[in-house]
Amino acid sequence: MIVIVTDLDGTLLAPRTCSFAPARPALERLARAGAPLVLCSIKTRAEVEAVRAALGNRDPFIVENGAAVFVPCGYFPFSWDAHRTEGEYDLLEWGVPYPQIRGVVAAMRAAGLAVTGFADLGVAGVAHLCGFSEEEAWRALQRGYGEPLVIDGGAAAEARAQGVAAAWGLQLVGGGQFWHLAGPHDKGKAVRALSRLFRRRWPGVRLAGLGDSENDRAMLEAVDIPILIPSASGEIGLHLPHARIAHAPGPAGWNQAVLEFLEEVGEQSR
């Protein structure tokens, strides 16, 4: 048995259109093989559930950069120790609850920092900054464990904000369009926890992971077969020894890499 663990943006989903159409052949092969497809993203639960619905996916998924694993109730045919149950999911959680995250945003402001989070922007503001529809912006605002931030004041302000975050036991990472304030978790810890459950069900299971950026490093280090997806310019977003490199960017490269992996190991049913 094999399990595919994948990042979304720039990997399974095309960067601007969020289309996974070029990956359909591999997705169909995975479905025929009964191989689980685990979505592992910085996105919120609401955002990942929208992708799952489009894919027809019913496997566990990982949200907000490893803050939590959502496992459909009854997915594994044995009892295991979930941290809690919410609706139709059993959860493993490492993320700091969102109200506490917002409390640290307030502490940054009290320290004289000019910081703006998604919650301050609202649906219209997030849609404008990110180029989202209002529905997409609403899903991005349904945060459980972390907050994207804009920090005014340059490198000095960013360093001070990191100091405030650290004083509260949080991490502030990023430096692109947004900084991300969250607890001390990553995709790798979540993947390792989920892989233990998969290995309990299928002792010989092999996990392949696909990602495109430094943010995926911990996830890729936690799987048996790491696969790097290049950017549209052909650049590789991180250096990872022994990783395979897809021959094309985005979902086209994802499709090729997964099909090659399936050919290598042979399709197996559950």
- Out of 7, 59, 212, 216, which one is annotated catalytic? 7
Residue 7 annotated among the catalytic residues of the structure: yes
Q: Hey, what domains does the chain have and what are their CATH numbers?
A: 2-95+186-265 (3.40.50.1000), 98-182 (3.30.980.20)
Q: Using an 8 Å Cβ cutoff, are 118 and 140 in contact?
A: yes
Q: Greater confidence, 54 or 234?
A: 54
pLDDT at 108: 98
Dist. CA 238–CA 210, nearest whole Å: 12
pLDDT at 269: 39
Q: Where are the beta strands (DSSP E) in the chain?
A: 2-6, 37-40, 61-63, 68-72, 84-86, 89-93, 114-117, 146-152, 171-174, 179-182, 206-211, 225-228, 244-245
pLDDT in tens, 212-225: 988 899 999 999 99
Sequence-ordered list of residues with C-beta below 8 angstroms from that of 61, at least 6 positions apart, any chain: 38, 39, 40, 41, 48, 49, 52, 69, 70
Report residue 234's pLDDT band, with 50, 70 and 90 as the boundaries. Answer: confident
Q: Closest Cα to residue 165, out of 141, 188, 184, 152?
A: 184
**Amino acid letter for position 48:** V
Surface-to-core class of residue 106, CB atoms within 10 Å of its CB (0-12 exposed, 13-18 middle, 19+ buried) = exposed
Helices (H), 56-172: 98-110, 118-130, 134-140, 154-167
pLDDT in tens, 22-63: 999 999 999 999 999 999 999 999 999 999 999 999 999 999
Is the per-residue pLDDT at 232 higher than 90? no
Dist. CA 99–CA 122, nearest whole Å: 16
Is the per-residue pLDDT at 180 higher than 90? yes
Is the per-residue pLDDT at 270 higher than 50? no
pLDDT in tens, 194-213: 999 999 999 999 999 999 98
Is the per-residue pLDDT at 127 higher than 60? yes
pLDDT in tens, 97-118: 999 999 999 999 999 999 999 9
Query: How large is the average pLDDT for residues 172-179?
Result: 83
pLDDT at 253: 96
Is the per-residue pLDDT at 78 higher than 80? yes
Report residue 175's pLDDT band, with 50, 70 and 90 as the boundaries. Answer: low
> What are the backbone angles phi and psi of residue 258, rounded to the nearest 5°?
-70, -40
Report residue 237's pLDDT band, with 50, 70 and 90 as the boundaries. Answer: confident
pLDDT at 219: 97
Surface-to-core class of residue 77, CB atoms within 10 Å of its CB (0-12 exposed, 13-18 middle, 19+ buried) = exposed
Dist. CA 89–CA 201, nearest whole Å: 18
Q: Closest Cα to residue 54, out of 89, 15, 8?
A: 8
Report the mean per-residue pLDDT for the chain. Answer: 94
Query: How large is the average pLDDT for residues 165-181?
Result: 90
Token pair of 23, please? 């990956």
Is the per-residue pLDDT at 95 higher than 80? yes
